[in-house]
Amino acid sequence: MRLNLKIWRQAGPDGAGKLVDYAADHVSPDMSFLEMLDVINERLVKQGEDAISFDSDCREGICGMCSLVINGVPHGPDRGTTVCQLHMRRFKDGETVTIEPWRARAFPVVKDLVVDRSAFDRIIAAGGYVSINVGGAPDGNAIPVSKQVAEQAMDSAACIGCGACVAACKNASAHLFMSAKIAQLSVLPQGQVERTTRVVAMIAQADADGFGSCSNEGECEAVCPKEIPISNIARMSREFTRAVFAGK
């Protein structure tokens, strides 16, 4: 199959970028989307041109590195899927495909389709951890956690930190990302010690980094490759209320 690609090219953080047209010939429907870009890049390198920069790592949908907005939807048209798990059979022969980076003030473009997501690291560093001293490796079942709570925490912990939620949100909000971590730790016994300070500090850090707020549209949930629901965001509201008004 043949595709007309419009790919965002930007030389560096400060440069002005633009969409550049590329023709992708002889694309196999069995290729993954990233393989298709690899093939284009091989051609560009052979021609002595600058390869298109994009992030990827595991290519099996679990690392959260790949980050492309394809035809206006982060991670492309498939639900609950990262770009690396998107395949070319999902596209029609002759289709025009626009590829852009995540767009947010807090995620500055490094080059082409690569953005700097260290703002997420700063949010986690602000409170997304458990720092109680537990001594040596504890026995696996020393702290009982009910099946229901374990499942609930795991659903939130499934976040791979890719940032698609921010990319999809009209406000470039990080609320789904941070609420998933806040929710996960708020239901587990290990997370109780820092429960109050965590929610306040993480929200403050996200605000300081220039992410927007939340309009409850749920675009984030719809593009999340791990299908993390916005019920986490409601829980974050409750945790915040508890922290600042109940003071505990």
Partner 1 sequence: MVSGLSSERQPGKLRYTDENMSSRIRVFDSSVGSKLLIGLTGLALFLYLITHIAGNALIFLGADTFNTYAHTLTSNPLIPIIELGLVLVFLTHIFKTVQMFVRNKAARPVAYAVKKPAGTPSRKTLASSTMIVSGLWLLLFVVLHVQAFKYGLEYEAASGVRDLYRIEMETFASPLTVAFYVVSMLLVGSHLWHGASSALQSLGLDHPSWTPRILAAGKIAAVAIAGGFVVIALWAHVTGGAR
Judged by CB under 8 A, how many residues of this single chain contact partner 1? 61
To partner 1, the closest distance from the beta carbon of 140 in angstroms equals: 27
When binding is defined by CB under 8 A, the residue of 32, 41, 81, 231 that contacts partner 1 is 231
Binding-site string for partner 1 from residue 38 to residue 57, where x marks contact by CB under 8 A and - marks none: --------------------
Distance CA 63, CA 175 (A): 20
Distance CA 111, CA 235 (A): 36
Sequence-separated (6 or more) residues with CB below 8 Å from residue 7? 19, 20, 22, 52, 98, 99, 112, 113
Relative orientation angle of helices 175-187 and 195-208, to the nearest 10 degrees: 170
When binding is defined by CB under 8 A, the residue of 111, 175, 181, 226 that contacts partner 1 is 175
Cβ(77)–Cβ(84) below 8 Å: no
Considering only the stretches 52-60, 138-146, 154-162, 223-231, report the one whose residues sit in contact with partner 1 under the rule CB under 8 A.
223-231
Residue 128 contacts partner 1 per CB under 8 A: no
Residue 76 contacts partner 1 per CB under 8 A: no
Residue 20 contacts partner 1 per CB under 8 A: no
Spacing of C-alpha 94 from chain mean position: 29
Binding-site string for partner 1 from residue 86 to residue 125, where x marks contact by CB under 8 A and - marks none: ------------x-x--xxxx---------------x--x
- Touching partner 1, residues 188-207 (CB under 8 A): 194, 197, 200-201, 203-207
* Residue 93: C-alpha distances to residues 2, 44, 85, 108 (Å): 5, 22, 19, 33
Binding-site string for partner 1 from residue 150 to residue 169, where x marks contact by CB under 8 A and - marks none: ------------------x-
To partner 1, the closest distance from the beta carbon of 48 in angstroms equals: 27
| Identity of the residue, 91 or 211, whose beta carbon is nearer to partner 1 in the bound complex | 211
Site of tokens 């609950």: 80
Distance CA 82, CA 55 (A): 12
Residue 71 contacts partner 1 per CB under 8 A: yes
Residue 226 contacts partner 1 per CB under 8 A: no
HSE at residue 173, side-chain half, CA atoms within 13 A, is: 19
Kindly state the tokens that stand for 132.
């109680």
Distance CA 1, CA 93 (A): 5
Enumerate binding residues for partner 1 (CB under 8 A).
6, 8, 19, 69, 71-74, 79, 98, 100, 103-106, 122, 125-127, 168, 170-173, 175, 194, 197, 200-201, 203-219, 221-223, 229-231, 233-238, 240-241, 244
